[in-house]
């Protein structure tokens, strides 16, 4: 893999820490700002919605700027947003700062995915995306546990100061290593291509599959700290080491998902959704026993990120041409729309449903809906292929 790919990984690491570290700090943030845990959980939803909003807003300028210029500009937005989080005096200011930070997310991963696939051979595209997304997984292994410890020891604001420093470092690495490129010379044609690709049925079904799969992931993951302390019985200090196990699962699942997707894309999509649902459902029983809970959390991490590269490369394949970059960004937004809905769903289960112990049960049912959408998409593609083949085989009139 080329060195430039690891520059993208560095940026992904910084963004991953910002997105996920708040989950280990929900108790600290809620106590310091005087809000409930479920209200603190909405900071995750706010970030995710910021990603969704940022995708079309920043996507509109993606065709006018070179990809390297766009990537470095996005890291500037990311760094300023984290600085604002560290300085936020109250809950709503922190929410606004989280949304601002999130604006960089979708376009960075969307454009970064296109850049990553352009750096490698055609048979390594999914693996290249997986390498870039390894930044997210390493963020969960190293960044999130360290950020959780830092926030618990010195206050949650210290974590965002640290992430601001990571943003500055990632900006420097991307500016140094990512190769220069030119902006599109035909923006009108590119815009028409974007509009066309977002109207394709296969792309829409791919985006819907992504949303539903990650509703399940974040319904379970958002409230992992309260589950471990209140249901399993771990101390608050034990949460950070357990997140290391989750992070290890992320790395394994991410690389395995990319490797399998390069060989058998759609079977990997289907299998990853089945495994994700099964692991979440099994967690409902496992969280009541400490050893089983830790094992289940590791498997949960692997199952969650095994879906990422297959779903991303699926949408990229369906969105060929000028609209590929924006469609890729929209798929990242789809992941985060799932995050937002999942965080809300988990909170609703806690506040109005069967309670904290049933969050993973509800979460495990949602990927089954994603599985149904993926199966429908595959069947429709096969029907389209069969009709095209029949038309080619029929004699000319």
Confidence category of residue 161, pLDDT binned at 50, 70, 90: very high
Residue 374 has pLDDT above 80, yes or no: yes
**32 in Cβ contact with 89 (< 8 Å):** no
- pTM exceeds 0.85 for this model: no
Can you give the length of the chain in residues? 397
Q: Which CATH class is domain 3-393?
A: mainly alpha
**313 in Cβ contact with 293 (< 8 Å):** no
- pLDDT, residue 186, reads 45
Rounded Cα distance between 372 and 97, Å, is 36
Domains in the chain: boundaries: 3-393
- pLDDT, residue 188, reads 44
- pLDDT, residue 105, reads 79
**132 in Cβ contact with 14 (< 8 Å):** no
Nearest-5° Cα angle at 127, 71 to 7 = 30
Residue 168: both structure tokens together? 């500055």
**257 in Cβ contact with 316 (< 8 Å):** no
- pLDDT, residue 386, reads 59
Using alpha carbons, list the distances in angstroms from residue 24 to 17, 38, 50, 256: 11, 13, 20, 26
Residue 304 has pLDDT above 70, yes or no: yes
| One-character DSSP codes across 171-208 | HHHHHHHSPP----S-HHHHHHHHHHHHT-HHHHHHHH
- pLDDT, residue 397, reads 47
Tens digits of residue pLDDT in 257-271: 888 888 888 899 999
Rounded Cα distance between 370 and 248, Å, is 25
- pLDDT, residue 27, reads 83
Confidence category of residue 211, pLDDT binned at 50, 70, 90: very high
Contacts of 221 (CB under 8 A, 6+ apart): 23, 300, 304, 342
Residue 297: both structure tokens together? 């959390």
Q: Specify which of 62-76, 146-160, 232-246 reaches the highest per-range mean pLDDT.
A: 146-160
Other C-beta atoms lying within 10 Å of the C-beta of residue 199: 10
Please state the rounded mean pLDDT for residues 316-342: 75
Rounded Cα distance between 62 and 65, Å, is 6
- pLDDT, residue 63, reads 60
Rounded Cα distance between 206 and 315, Å, is 6
Please state the rounded mean pLDDT for residues 281-289: 92
| One-character DSSP codes across 269-284 | HHHHHHHHHHHHHHHH
- Nearest Cα to Cα of residue 332 among 78, 138, 111, 139: 111
Contacts of 58 (CB under 8 A, 6+ apart): 70, 74, 103, 104, 106, 107, 329
- pLDDT, residue 87, reads 92
């Amino acid at each position: 893999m080329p060195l430039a790919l690891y520059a993208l990984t560095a940026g992904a690491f910084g963004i991953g820490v910002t997105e996920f570290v708040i989950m280990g700090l929900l108790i600290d943030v809620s106590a310091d700002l005087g809000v409930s845990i479920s209200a603190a959980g909405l900071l995750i939803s706010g970030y995710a919605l910021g990603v969704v909003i940022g995708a079309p807003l920043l996507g509109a300028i993606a065709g006018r700027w070179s990809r390297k210029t766009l990537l470095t500009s996005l890291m500037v937005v990311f760094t300023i947003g984290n600085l604002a989080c560290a300085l936020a005096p109250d809950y709503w200011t922190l929410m606004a700062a989280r949304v601002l930070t999130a604006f960089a997310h979708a376009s960075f991963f969307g454009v970064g995915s296109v850049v990553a696939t352009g750096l490698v051979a055609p048979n390594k595209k999914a693996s290249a995306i997986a390498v870039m997304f390894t930044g997210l997984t390493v963020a969960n292994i190293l960044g999130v546990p360290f950020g959780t410890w830092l926030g618990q020891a010195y206050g949650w604001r210290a974590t965002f100061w640290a992430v601001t420093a990571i943003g500055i470092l990632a900006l420097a690495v991307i500016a140094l290593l990512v190769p220069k490129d030119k902006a599109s010379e035909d923006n009108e044609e590119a815009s028409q291509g974007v509009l066309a690709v977002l109207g394709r049925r296969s792309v829409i079904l791919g985006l819907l599959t992504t949303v539903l799969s990650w509703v399940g992931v974040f319904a379970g993951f958002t409230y992992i700290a309260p589950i471990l302390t209140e249901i399993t019985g771990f101390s608050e200090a034990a949460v950070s080491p357990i997140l290391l196990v989750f992070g290890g699962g992320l790395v394994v699942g991410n690389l395995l998902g990319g490797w399998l997707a390069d060989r058998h894309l759609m079977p990997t999509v289907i299998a990853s959704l089945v495994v994700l649902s099964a692991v979440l459902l099994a967690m409902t029983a496992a969280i009541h026993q400490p050893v089983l809970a830790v094992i289940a959390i590791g498997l949960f991490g692997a199952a969650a990120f095994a879906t990422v590269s297959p779903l991303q490369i699926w949408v990229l394949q369906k969105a060929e041409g000028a609209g590929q970059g924006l469609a890729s960004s929209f798929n990242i937004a789809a992941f985060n729309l799932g995050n937002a809905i999942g965080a809300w769903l988990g909170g609703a289960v806690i506040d109005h449903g069967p309670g904290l112990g049933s969050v993973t049960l509800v979460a495990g049912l949602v990927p089954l809906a994603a599985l149904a959408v993926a199966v429908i998409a595959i069947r429709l593609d096969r029907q389209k292929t069969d009709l095209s083949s029949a038309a080619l085989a029929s004699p000319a009139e």
